[in-house]
Amino acid sequence: MVATPIGNLEDISPRALESLARADAIAAEDTRVTARLLEHHRVQGKLIAVHEHNERRAADSIVEQLAQGKTVALVTDAGTPAISDPGATVVARARAAGFKVVPVPGPNAAVTALSASGIADGPFLFAGFLPARPAARRKALDALSALPYTLVLYEAPHRVVECVEDMSAALGPERTLVIARELTKLFEQIHRCRLGEAADWLRAEADRRRGEFVLIAEGPAARNESAKPDWERVLTTLLGELPLAHAVKLACKLTGAKKNAVYARALQLARAANSRRS
């Protein structure tokens, strides 16, 4: 299992290059992408395709090669195999057949972004890609919203705006978000803002919506929690007796909480209540 660069082709270790050069075959997510990496570093290698559509079939072929005493290096297009990328099925089949699996560590977009985020050290949860469909994505975010961790997500450029809008509604617009795109590449950008401001920032320039994204939402434990239980308890009580807008208005008036945060939480509670009823 060989980690490869997430952008800058120089971000690869001597051990990784040696592993690729010595392998009898290199199983790659996209052979064209890996061919460019090998050519850049003047490494010769026999490439075979292993991607999400053929991984089960390819795993059987790789196990057959291992049974013949061959060494296979598995890579993805960028980063560490089996982390939001193909690879786990191949590893499971190889282990089940009794073969040794050796990790060759290296780049990973989630950890790279987190290290440059400025978010305080502490527990984080890597959720990978959220569901592409809006309803499923919102449901997943609702489940993540109460967890006391910094959340690290991947997102594609054509969904990033709607994703951060859903994150704002589920997690609250006041939570800090770090948007990291094109990491280690020429147009690398790492932007920090409030979740409620993220969609407008992305829409302001087309270039900000290009590339692959890592989204990091600061955990709720990093915020001031002292006042939160009071206004949430008040809001929950009011929602049981009043329409949503009226409940939000009164909760803000009674507790001094910010309207955007209270409204976002009210929507989340209303969705959860509707889901239970259905």
> Is the CB of residue 270 less than 8 Å from the CB of residue 239?
yes
Q: What is the structure's pLDDT at 227?
A: 42
Q: What is the structure's pLDDT at 272?
A: 80
pTM of the model: 0.77
Residues 6+ apart with CB under 8 A from 187: 181, 207, 210, 211
Using CA atoms, how far residue 143 sits from 37, 127, 139, 167, in Å, is 39, 11, 6, 12
Report which DSSP code applies to 133. S
In 3D space, the residue among 69, 71, 80 whose CA is nearest the CA of residue 48 turns out to be 71
The distance of Cα 2 from the centroid of its chain, to the nearest Å, equals 20
Show the tokens assigned to 135.
């309803």
Q: What is the structure's pLDDT at 277?
A: 65
- Residue ranges of the chain whose pLDDT lies below 50: 222-229
Q: What is the structure's pLDDT at 104?
A: 98
Report which DSSP code applies to 79. B
